[in-house]
Structure formats: C-alpha cells, structure tokens
Amino acid sequence: MKKVLKIIFVIICFLVIARIAYVNIAYPSADIKIIDEDEMFDLKNFSLRLKEYDIYSKEEWKQKLENENIELEEEKYNVIYNMNLKNNSNYDYIVTYDPSNDYKVLVVDLEISNLTEEVQKININGSFSVLTSLNKQGIKVNNYYSSFLNSDDYLAEYKPKETREVKLVYITNEKNENFVLEVTKLGRNQRMTLNNKKK
C-alpha cells in the first residue's frame, strides 16, 4: 500500500512539473524585457521610439513656458489636485500633481509608427506608462501642456504606415531618482529606465 501511494505521489509530482513547464513555455511570455534608450518599444500594431526627453524642475519649467508664451495650467484653470478633492467642489478639472508644491516635469519626444495597413488609434495612457518607481502607479499624460507642444491632434487616428512625432508631458511631485517607461502588452512587456539626463 505504501509503495502504491509513493508511486502515485511521484506521478502527481511529475505531472505537476510537466504542466508548470508547459504553461511557462507555451503561454504568451509574462517576462519583462529590459530595453535600452535607443531601442524601440514594440506595441504589436505600433512601434514607439524614444527620440529624446527632458526633465525640468518647477522653476525651469516655468521659465520654459514663459519663453514659449504658454500660461501655467494652474493660472489658466482652477485645477485641483486629486488628493485635495475632499469637501471641494469648486474646480474646473482634476490634476494628478500638486501645483502648489515642488514638482518635476518629464517631456518625452516619441516617434510613433503605425505598422499596419489599416487605420489605427493608440490609447497612449493605456499602452504606455511612465513611472517614478516600480511600486507606484503610473503618471498620466498632462493633456494641457501636451496639446501646446504638439502641432496637431496627437491623439488622432494613425493612417496606414504613418509615423508621427509626439511630445508628451508628465508631471509628478515625486522626488524620484529615475523615471521608468513601461509597456505592458500581451506577451510584450517592456521596460526602459531613463538615466535622468538629456538623451
């Protein structure tokens, strides 16, 4: 009886190991590919290349906006930081950074190409994340500043094989060391850590 139980146990162990091996080989990869700054992100229908990026302090950003005649978001609109929402209903819209505190601005210049023969739309917030740390939620694109930095509608549909250059602005109050760009797609997880210097 003991021998039979032992044989059953060994067979179960073997089947379990075989199944785990199969799942890890056959299923779409869940690995995260670490890519360099000069490599391209592969989004299946789109490719995404980081052309350059800039990181500004709050003061540098204000200076840049002044030079380009762009009004500060918090001066033009009555914006509210999402953490200060409680008991406050008097605002135009919600932002994910606190304009009254110190913040950092990341401007990424991306070359986005539609790789297909069809018209495609890209959901930039859904496909591509900018993180300040791997255990923190991604930062959303700041649409106010991004719309000033792009000549046309950067969210518009892409014609077949069209390539467009898009500048995206991300603002955070985090005092992080490195920004991380991340793509999480089925079988195509990719991560790029910026070294916080101009490319």
Partner 1 sequence: MREIMKIELKRAFINTKFYIVVLVSTIFAIGAFFTTPGFKIAKNWFLYMNGDLDAAYIIEKCDYSDVAIEIWMPNYGASSKFYFLWLIILPLLCIIPYGITYIEDKSSGLINQYIIKIGKGKYYVSKFITLFISGGTIAILPLFINLIICSMALPFGLPVRSTQFYPVKEYNLFSNLYYQNIVVYLMLYFLIYFVVYGLITCLALAFVYFEENKYMLLLVPFIIYFSEHVIISFGFNQYDTSLLLATNIINLRYENFLFYLLQIIVLFLFDLLFFFRIRRDVI
Q: Which residues bind partner 1 (CB under 8 A)?
A: 16, 19-20, 23-24, 26-32, 129, 131, 133-138, 182, 184-187, 189
We find the least distance from the C-beta atom of residue 132 to partner 1, in angstroms, to be 10
Strand order in the sheet with 163-172: 40-42, 46-57, 104-114, 163-172
Shorter beta-carbon distance to partner 1: residue 99 or 138: 138
Instruction: Please report, as a single letter, which amino acid is at residue 117.
Output: E
We find the least distance from the C-beta atom of residue 190 to partner 1, in angstroms, to be 11
Q: State the number of CA atoms in the 13 A half-sphere of 188 facing the CB.
A: 14
**Tokens matching residue 164:** 């467009």
Shorter beta-carbon distance to partner 1: residue 12 or 85: 12
Shorter beta-carbon distance to partner 1: residue 9 or 78: 9
Element (H, E) at 48: strand 46-57
We find the least distance from the C-beta atom of residue 60 to partner 1, in angstroms, to be 27
Shorter beta-carbon distance to partner 1: residue 61 or 127: 127
CA distances from 31 to 18, 24, 27, 43, 187 (A): 20, 10, 11, 15, 8
Shorter beta-carbon distance to partner 1: residue 32 or 70: 32
**Tokens matching residue 179:** 């920004």
Shorter beta-carbon distance to partner 1: residue 40 or 180: 180
We find the least distance from the C-beta atom of residue 189 to partner 1, in angstroms, to be 7
d(CA 103, CA 60): 11
We find the least distance from the C-beta atom of residue 72 to partner 1, in angstroms, to be 28
Three-state DSSP class for 159? coil
**Tokens matching residue 4:** 């039979």
Three-state DSSP class for 65? helix
d(CA 145, CA 154): 12
We find the least distance from the C-beta atom of residue 145 to partner 1, in angstroms, to be 21
